[in-house]
Structure 1
Amino acid sequence: MPTDADQHIRATDAALPRRDFIHIMGASVAVVGSGGALWPLIDSFNPSADVRATSSVEVDLEPFELGQRITVKWRGKPVFISRRTAREIELARADDHAKLRDPQTDAERVIDPEWLVVIGICTHLGCVPLGQAPQSDRGGWNGWFCPCHGSHYDTSGRIRRGPAPLNLEIPPYEFLDPMRLKIG
């Protein structure tokens, strides 16, 4: 004949799976609720639509003549695009073996020799060098000149004189077709 203790043990054994279910459901509701409450905060760390839209820029190169330089904005930075003449390409290649502070050949800096694409920010203190307009001072190497501290860049965007430690930076870019460029 079962005793009161035996009946109590059976009742406790039957209640254990039910308690486990209640604990698991309670924890699940808490986790899902916390995730739902935190999602707006987590989603706010994603870039906004206007930032995503500027992550890449396409440029139609068709209207630009030899020797012309343009500036486009990419990720809030000026990007200099130069359609180099045969003389500018020749000057850049002639200096490939010169003693340079940040040695790079012209071929390492361009995909198509006719087009040079560089971020237009001086590597010294972040100024924007001159040299985009035909009448502006292009420095001693017919490239770009930063008037703030006197850095001179050549027609390949390499530092030639002044305090800048590095060449003008090359952004990630590709040609979608011979006359269309994608930056970013």
Structure 2
Amino acid sequence: MSVCRRAAITANSSLAKVASIPTPFSKSPIPFLPPPKHVKFDYGVQVALTRQRAKSFSPFLSTPTNMSVIAGFQGGQQVRYAHTDVCKYPNFDYYRRDSTRDPTKSQSETEVDRKMVSYLVVGVGLSVFAVGAKQLVRATVNFLNPSKAVLAVSKLEVDLASIPEGKNAVFKWREKPLFIRHRTDAEVDSVASVSLEELRDPETDQDRVKDPKFLVLLGICTHLGCVPISHAGEYGGYYCPCHGSHYDASGRIRKGPAPLNLEVPPYSISDSGVLVVG
């Protein structure tokens, strides 16, 4: 539909509204009905009819070429019914989302579709941030951990054949005292026959040693960190002179304030009889 034809229809409908206003000289509105919809529109005929109808209520309108409508009780307001300088209205649907192009849908109906992209972008951003934070924390923790060279030096190798039976050898491992005890058969049988019900920290001797003849312990009392004395105490194992904790030949607490058994460090024994701690 052309702009001029659309303007004529607009003017005709506006005049119909104005024509229905009651006049001061008559209580009934000016009889004016728009043409039926099935009548074919003729621009020239409609312009002539419009001019003729405008003359019938000239007290309320100026000349037909400069028509006005009554605004309130004081005076008229100029209205322009046609625009001849606009040929095509701009259409911005190309820049709108598909979910917002339908004017018949409410905001609540398109909310999920409109926010889906935002949710996706935020989710991907949070995932990337989490992965980056994880790598940063891992790099920081690995930086604080000892290097491979330090860990290599922290290992201790001991030839078990160099420790006589019945003796307790003391070494330094990672700035801590390390006890390696070559037990006799009597000591092995003695600690193996102890019931778990008698122990404060129940643990069998088989769980604490890899070779029944050799016991490997950290020489630090579990009470306050003192260094126990070997082959001492009421149970023939270790005795802490600081507060009187007694351990048996398996390093298990039997009497005194210590709450736990002596710690067993990670170690392995090779087929050649070399013990590697760490």
What TM-score does the superposition give when structure 1 sets the normalisation length?
Answer: 0.69
1:145 and 1:152 in contact (8 A); partners too: yes
RMSD over aligned CA atoms reads 2.0
* Local SS of the residue matching 1:142: coil
Q: Determine the structure 1 residue equivalent to 2:248.
A: 154
1:178 Cα deviation (Å)?
A: 4.7
Q: Of residues 217, 233, 243 in structure 2, which corresponds to 1:139?
A: 233
1:64 and 1:83 in contact (8 A); partners too: yes
Task: After TM superposition, list the pairs within 5 Å mapping 1:1-184 onto structure 2.
Answer: 45=144, 47=146, 51-131=150-230, 138-184=232-278
Between structure 1 and structure 2, the one with the greater Rg is: 2
* Local SS of the residue matching 2:216: strand
Residue identity matched to 2:163: F
In 1, Cα distance between equivalents of 2:276 and 2:175? 16
Residue identity matched to 1:78: P
1:150 Cα deviation (Å)?
A: 0.3
1:96 and 1:106 in contact (8 A); partners too: no
1:53 Cα deviation (Å)?
A: 3.8
Percent identity between the aligned chains? 53
Contiguous gaps of at least 5 residues in structure 1: 1-41, 132-136
Q: Greater shift after overlay, 80-89 or 137-146?
A: 137-146
In 2, Cα distance between equivalents of 1:46 and 1:101? 35
What count of residue pairs does the alignment treat as equivalent? 139
What TM-score does the superposition give when structure 2 sets the normalisation length?
Answer: 0.47
Higher relative contact order (CA 8 A, sep 6+): 1
* Local SS of the residue matching 1:109: coil
1:182 Cα deviation (Å)?
A: 0.4
Contiguous gaps of at least 5 residues in structure 2: 1-139
